[in-house]
Every structure is written in C-alpha cells, then in structure tokens.
Structure 1
C-alpha cells in the first residue's frame, strides 16, 4: 500500500484552483448620521468589511438584523438583496443610483464622519464555481473580537492603506489582499466543523478521514480500493465508509469519480490536450473508458462538452449590476 504520509495534499488549494476563485475590491463608502443603503441580490459572492464605526445588516429572508462593528467582515454567497444601515428604521437609498455613473467606486452619506466600509466580490468559474459556492452558507460573519481574526484585522489594515495611498500596483495588491482575506474568512468558518453541511469543506475538518482525502486528491489516477483508504484512516471498511459518507455526502469511490470529472473538464478546456491523454492522466484504461464515464456524469461526450464551450471563453466576469460597492 502507498504511504499516505507522503501525500501531503492541500485539498483546500485544490478546490480554490478548480473553482478559479478570484477576489477583487470594488470600493466602499463613508457615512455620518442616520443612513441606510439597499443593495441588489448579488450574482457573485460578495464580501464587505467595516473599517470604522458600526452598522446593521438586514438580509432578505433573514428574521433578524445582524450587528457589525469595526473590523468585522461579512461574506454573502446567497443571491439575496440586503441593506446596510446605521439604524434599522431608516428608509434605505438605492445603491444602484448612489454608485452608478463614471465608474464611481465610492460615495459619502452625510458628513461621512461616523462610518467607513470597503467591499468587493469573489468571482468563480461558471462551470466549476459551484464546487465551492454550494458548500458555503448564505452568509458568514467574522467578528473582529474573535481570537482567530488577528490575520483578518491585519489584512483589512493593509487593504485600507492600499486604497488610500494610491501607490503603483495598488490595484493588483488590493486584489491579492482580498484573495487572502477570502481564504482567511473560510479558514475561520471551517473551525465550526460541526455546523458545516456534508461536503468537502466539512471533510477537510474531519481529521479521521483526512488521510483518505489526501490520498484521493494526491493521486486521483490511482485505482484506490476501499480497503486501502480505510486502512490509512485506521478504520474498518464499514466504519470508514459510514464516516466518509457522513462527512462528504457520498461514498469514497463516488467522490473519486466526481473529482476525476472535475479535473477532466478542466483539462478539456486546453484544446491541444487529447482525450486519450486526459484519460491516461486520470487513471482510465483508455479514451473510450474515460468517455463512457464522462458521458454518464455529464450526459455528453468529452468532445461535445469541449465544443459546447466548456473552456476559458465562459469565464465568469463581473456584471454591471455587480459593480455596486459592498
């Protein structure tokens, strides 16, 4: 049996790469006095951070307003409209009218002395993005007072500095910092393993099946047997299979097939890579064996999927409506 200790695979990075998650800062606003802004339902994942002051966040279909203080970060993955407000009883202004026109990236309500916020978006690949997005709750709030939020506070300070200084390379630096902020928010969220739904996010927090997950991701072309995976996790076949299904939501070999299909789709975007080469890379005995498996999962052949536009031309971009600052 292979030594699983040699497969120190970073599954989290694997998923982020497959989803092609990329973060960007779109701006922010300042406010003073009593104020409120309504934002439309996002088509992307949105994040926002409170740099100064406090506010209430009222998300459509949520029964109660959320209180955010200085240093708090929010992540909204659900396609729901929401309101940011100094007080819950203020009639909100429409964000589209406040931020529209001339590439406007910031605005001020009142004298702007009480509150400051910056925000942005996390773009995902339209084909592979659901691998990540479907594992996220509707919203996440990370409190600045949380002991795990030290890195987030530092990243937020750096983002504010990049936005204010206007140094060469500020746009790229802000995007890199926003990417790190997104990763750190997910890391903090993953510490609540018991509250996570079944899926790869929960599986990464489950130390009992971590060796098997590392093996599957470290060498997806290998013909893994249930006995090998269970032995690496120091469990019986039955106990391991139950634990894996509880954490991941499917059987180990089903997960392996699904992961192979994700990797196969990515490889098909490179039009110079043949189906036979992809099949060999993923551990299939022949191009026809891979094609049959691909057709069972997707309903079409690899060639048809490739010709249907499953490559870079379908990359998710930021819609005009999503450029509204949060």
Structure 2
C-alpha cells in the first residue's frame, strides 16, 4: 500500500495515539498539569477556560470547539478564573473511576484528549519540528471534522458498543492527525523543516517519489520535473521549505529507515546497504555515521545490548 510522506513518517515513528482521558468541571477551579515529555492534545467539548504556561505572563483563552496540542514539556495551568486554589492534577485523579474524571461543582466545562506514543529512537524527528503549542480555534475550517471526531470519541466512552476500545483508539489517532493537518494549512507560516515540506503541495510529487522508492538513485532533474520546476528553482525552493537540500533530505530519510531496520529486522549491514541503494557497504556506513553519529554496526550492537539489559 502506498503511503504519503507524512503517513510514512508516522509509520517510521510507530506513532500511536491513546486516550489520555477527559475532565469535567464546574464552579471555580484551577488545575495544575505537570510537565510531560509526551505529545498531548485535547478538544474542548463544552465551556471555556484559560491556559497559562510556567514562566510566561498572560493566559490563552480556550473555548468549546477549540483543540490544542502541547509539545513542550512545561507545566501549565487550566482554570475557570484566578479565585480558586491551585489543585495538582494528581490530586484530581485520586478518585478517578473511569476515563472521565470529575472535579469541582457542576458540569460547565468538559474536555477530552489523548497522548501520542512514539518510537524512542526517532521521536525527535517529529517533536523537534512542532511548535510548543498548536491551538486550532473553533473558527478554523478544520473545526467541523475535528468536532465530529470529538463527538464520536465522547459517544464511545459509555462502553456499550462492541469494539468501543478499538474505535476510541482510532478516533483518538485521527484527531491527532487532523490537528496536524490544520496546523499545516494554518494562517501562521510554519518554520522551515521536514513537516513543512510534507505539507507543501508544490513539493508533494517529488516527496512521493523519494518516499515511494528511497533506494532509487534519484536525479535532481527527475525530482524537479515531477514538481514542474527547473533544477535551480526546485533546489532553492526545496531548501527554503525543508531547511535542507533535496538530496540531503533523501539521504537522511534513508538513514532513518536504516535505523528502524537495524533494530527491527536484525538485518546485515551489507544487505541493508544494497536495499537502500548504496553500491558498497562502506559508502552506506559512511553516510550512516555522518547522519546518525555512529557506525551502523555499533548502532545495532548498542541497541541490542540495551534491549538485553
């Protein structure tokens, strides 16, 4: 099955979204969420609140129909207002009896969301390219599809339908992907990087070629032609969007594939080098060490030793 470049990246990262849970609150409340190394995201089903980050002045207003994704491992506070005492999230969760936890008086606010689990060896490929906060507002053109996913996710939480667990996992992952789609197409320009390139329609044909056959000795002229550009224009535009030259992007992607194969399949270095388009094991090893910082043989050995221990 053909995978588009972004789906290819998610597959490489073994990205898996799981339900983190929901929060129902009312009255005056202030909850402190601890810093987390995981990507986390939420959708606001009902009500509104403010969000303030540790070390920053001011707060961000969030209301029903909004979605947000946090990348930066910083603690933050969600609150109905400044009057109530700050309660740590761990305290709120002490009496949790289901995926939805209740706090305060009433049910004027409700949010639900998930977290993203990524492969340890390459998670930074995604994390480093995301902003600290992605905030998709209810007025976004993507809000309708996100709200539908949110409604379906809430409906699955009573657990009465067959396959509720599987449906919850799929809906949670779709919400994560849709948040990133909205980010790709947002009004705010995305900083140069691989994610920006994967969301760029002009570069899409060339990226499909590289991801579809990374082992092929692609020529710059072929890639430029697929994007309906001259070689010079393509090279300049690709670097301005991706932050890296086309052939450097291809080499880096090959090495990320190599990392996965070295860990998963225990493949020999010689076989791997041929499968990724290198004419010699030494040429592949040199490229791998330049990108990853260690030889493929040592990389494989260290990872195997880590798994044993």
TM-score by length of 2: 0.91
Aligned twin of 1:214: 208
Greater RCO between the two (CA within 8 Å, min separation 6)?
1
Task: Give the gaps of 5 or more residues in structure 2.
Answer: none
Aligned residue in 2 for 1:241: 235
Q: How does 1:162-201 map to 2 (within 5 A)?
A: 162-192=156-186, 195-201=189-195
Distance 1:231 1:14 in 2: 23
* Correspondence for 2:144: 150
2-structure distance, mates of 1:120, 1:134: 19
After TM superposition, the structure 1 stretch with the greater mean CA deviation from structure 2, 230-239 or 263-272, is 230-239
Aligned to 1:45: 39
Paired with 2:278 and 2:187, the residues of 1 have a C-alpha distance of 34
User: Which is further off, 37-46 or 134-143?
Assistant: 134-143
Larger mean CA deviation between 29-38 and 51-60 belongs to 51-60
SS in structure 1 at match of 2:274: helix
Cα-to-partner distance string for 1:267-297 (whole Å, 9 max, x where unaligned) = 1113442222211110011223212221222
Q: How far 1:106 moved relative to its partner?
A: 4.0
The reply to whether residue 285 of structure 1 matches residue 279 of structure 2 is yes
What secondary structure is seen at the aligned counterpart in 2 of 1:269?
helix
- Do the aligned partners of residues 191 and 94 (structure 1) sit closer, same or farther apart at CA in structure 2, a change above 3 Å counting? same
Q: Distance in 2 between matches of 1:66 and 1:29?
A: 18
User: What is the aligned partner in structure 2 of residue 322 from structure 1?
Assistant: none
Matches of 2:3 and 2:93 in 1, distance apart?
43
Do residues 276 (structure 1) and 274 (structure 2) align? no
Q: Does 1:34 align with 2:20?
A: no
Instruction: Give 3-state SS (helix, strand or coil) of 1:37's partner.
Output: strand
Render the CA deviation track for 1:162-199: whole Å, top value 9, x for unaligned: 11244443223211110000001111111027610111
What does 1:9-28 correspond to in 2, within 5 Å? 10-28=4-22
Aligned equivalents of 1:22, 1:232: Cα separation in 2: 32
Taking a change above 3 Å as real, the CA distance of residues 55 and 177 of structure 1, as seen in their structure-2 partners, is: same
| Structure 1 residue aligned with 2:120 | 126
1:213 offset after TM fit, Å?
1.5
Q: 1:147 to 1:232 in 2, by over 3 A?
A: closer
* Alpha-carbon separation, structure 2, partners of 1:158 and 1:65: 30
* Matched-pair contact (CA < 8 Å) for 2:23–2:102: yes
**Partners of 1:269 and 1:311 within 8 A in 2:** no
| Cα shift readout 1:101-135 (whole Å, capped 9, x = no counterpart) | 78874432223321122232111111111111111
TM-score (norm 1): 0.87
Contact 1:38–1:82 (8 Å) recurs in 2 = yes
Question: Gapped runs of 5+ residues in structure 1?
Answer: 1-6, 315-326
Task: State the Cα distance separating 1:203 from its structure 2 match.
Answer: 1.2
Alignment of 1:290-309 (within 5 A): 290-309=284-303
* Alpha-carbon contact 2:92-2:103 (below 8 Å) kept: no
Q: Does 1:251 align with 2:234?
A: no
Displacement of 1:39: 0.5
Q: 1: CA distance between counterparts of 2:188 and 2:271?
A: 41
The question of 1:160 aligning with 2:157 is answered no
